[in-house]
Chains A and B, each alone.
Chain A
């Protein structure tokens, strides 16, 4: 058997020539494999994207069977990519990675949808991810990764807000100047008399009910948006939700997770921070399969590549998502 040093020398002497061949992504030294089993023979291992029949290759593209009397073993490894975190900058960007309007923290790039009017490819996520909970205008910058993950500046600018379904809040901090003046007056008296309590003004709108928390953005460069969702694949079409249905999602924070639909037709009060609450009806509820930052993830059927919902909220015990058809109809897009 050849000593390891000789094999390493053979690899070093030939690696430039081998790496120049199309389809080759790496060269190393390792035990030769024969029919899937590892032998004890050291060889120069050439990693290729795809093994191709010799008949389909030009003579200069064919890999030698041995170099400097050391055997060459060809191994198919596919494309080698640097291990990237979902909070990193991705170009092109798949579904399941960090994204966000310039004024928010970060959410998840749900996936690709098509504008019904123009057939343009758009990025799907939540209103509170792409449109700052209504506080945004079409054309606003969307970063990938989202601002919390370091997204800022021209290099991270990924898309522009296209449109969103407005969220109507049942409770939000008051904007009425008269009510605020009363509150300020009351709080001044409370301060004077040494009370630790203060009043705040809330505007209530008990009739307000929402169906979805959804928005779309237009990528600046269409080629920078991948159809694929990380660890799921390319989703197309929709599947209606049923009780007990297995579902999965791919999100910025908790990555790929699975769950089961526990509730149908749920009406829920969702907190949006700083005193804002919005009621949603016709929602779907699964067990805990998400955390903050997973908002905007597409919820996909467990047994097919069909979309089921758009994740937007949850608690320690639940995950809330809107039925995908209501999302698509509100945004006038298809999947």
Chain B
């Protein structure tokens, strides 16, 4: 017997946590990508320093981390969205090479 997987069924490779963060990420990625220095958003482990934690976060990739005092209010990145932690990670410029 074959099982049909519909478009809206959760990806069987994702944990519930990952699926939830993905949903929130997709709803907010356009506004995040419009902010200064933001080059990417994704679903991943939160980092503390350079250590990876087991907590799943909405990860925002920026070319450079700047102090909030240097940013316009509309370019500030929230620390959480809809209860999902947001982790800002510095990655530099992403280039096709």
Contact = CB atoms under 8 A, between A and B. Distances in A.
Interface stretch (B2-10, B66-74, B89-97): B89-97
A291 interface: yes
Interface in B73-90: 89-90
B92 A271 contact: no
A243 B44 contact: yes
Given A240-B13, A242-B13, A262 B95 contact: no
B92 A316 contact: yes
10 contacts: A243-B44, A243-B45, A264-B43, A265-B22, A265-B26, A266-B40, A267-B33, A312-B96, A317-B89, A318-B94
Nearest to A316: B92
Contacts of B44: 243, 262-264, 285
B40 A294 contact: no
B3 to A, nearest CB: 17
Given A263-B59, A268-B61, A314 B41 contact: no
Given A317-B91, A318-B91, A267 B41 contact: yes
A272 B96 contact: yes
For A263, A278, A295, which residue has the most chain B Cβ atoms within 10 angstroms? A263
Given A267-B33, A318-B61, A285 B40 contact: yes
Contacts of A53: none
B42 A285 contact: yes
A273 interface: yes
Interface residues of B, number: 28
Interface of B: 13-14, 18, 22, 25-26, 29, 33, 39-45, 52, 56, 59, 61, 89-97
Given A244-B45, A266-B41, A318-B61, A313 B33 contact: no
Contact of A265 (B39, B42, B89, B91): B42
Q: 6 shortest A-B CB distances, which residue pairs?
A: A266-B42, A263-B42, A268-B40, A292-B97, A263-B44, A315-B92
B96 A295 contact: yes
Contacts, number: 102
B96 A213 contact: yes
A313 B97 contact: yes
Contacts of A270: 94-96
Contacts of A263: 42-44, 59
Interface in A275-309: 278-279, 283, 285, 290-295
A314 B97 contact: yes
A156 B56 CA distance: 48
A11 interface: no
Given A242-B13, A262-B45, A265-B43, A320 B29 contact: no
A269 B39 contact: yes
A233 to B, nearest CB: 24
A94 B89 CA distance: 36
A271 B61 contact: no
Given A264-B18, A265-B25, A320 B59 contact: no
A269 B62 CA distance: 11
A249 interface: no
A101 interface: no
A128 interface: yes
Contacts of A285: 40, 42, 44, 61
A86 B56 CA distance: 38
Contacts of A133: 96
B39 A268 contact: yes
Contacts of B56: 243
A314 B94 contact: yes
Nearest to B11: A240
A268 B33 CA distance: 9
For B40, B42, B44, B97, which residue has the most chain A Cβ atoms within 10 angstroms? B97
